[in-house]
Amino acid sequence: ADAAFDVVWSQSAAMNIADRVAFYGEIHRVLKPGGTFSISEMAAGNGGAPIFPVPWAREKSLSFLLPPDEVRRLVEAAGFRITGWVDETGALLAWRDRMREVARTQPRPALGPHIVLGSDMGERAANAMRNLAEKRCTGLLVTAQRPA
């Protein structure tokens, strides 16, 4: 229903959605006036085309990354006011470094993302981190508000 939610959170989903105008528009429609919309996603970087497979897409035809300025433009065009904008690339690369250290000192857990995302999850995660390091992708954390 219209204006049904106080908060809408999109995590690692928008990268697989070709029609962002409709996506952000529907989020605006279902969010209550004064409600918060938060996005955590990868965006296109300026370092060249991403290397596939990645966690969100095994091939280019399934990936719809947009440059950060285009994400901003479309979120605002949907009627939101941006209240927070964080480039998470550095934090994601720092996390990668911590996980590499954990992997050197501890055995791989039996349960983890590979169970859901497939046996190629290691390659996909490594490519995602390489894409971040080579500025092919950028990590974004955005908060926005539907005006009251």
pLDDT tens for residues 79-121? 999 999 999 999 999 999 998 888 889 887 788 777 887 889 8
Which residues are registered as beta bridge partners of 74?
none
- 139 forms beta bridges with 42
Regions in the chain scoring below 70 on pLDDT: none
What's the predicted TM-score (pTM) here?
A: 0.90
Rounded Cα–Cα distance for residues 104 and 34 (Å): 46
Distance separating alpha carbons of residues 107 and 40, to the nearest angstrom: 29
CA–CA separation, 78 and 59 (whole Å): 29
Q: In the prediction, which pLDDT does 33 show?
A: 98
**Largest Cα–Cα separation, the chain:** 51
Question: What pLDDT does 113 receive?
Answer: 74
Give the separation between CA 58 and CA 52, rounded to whole angstroms. Answer: 6
Contact in structure between 43 and 68 (CB atoms under 8 Å): yes
Q: Structure tokens of 129?
A: 């981190």
Tokens read off for 70: 């285009």
Task: Please say whether the beta carbons of 55 and 130 come within 8 A.
Answer: no
Q: What is the pLDDT of residue 93?
A: 94
Q: Distance of CA 139 to CAs 44, 98, 118, 143, Å? A: 9, 17, 22, 14
pLDDT computed for residue 81 by the predictor: 98
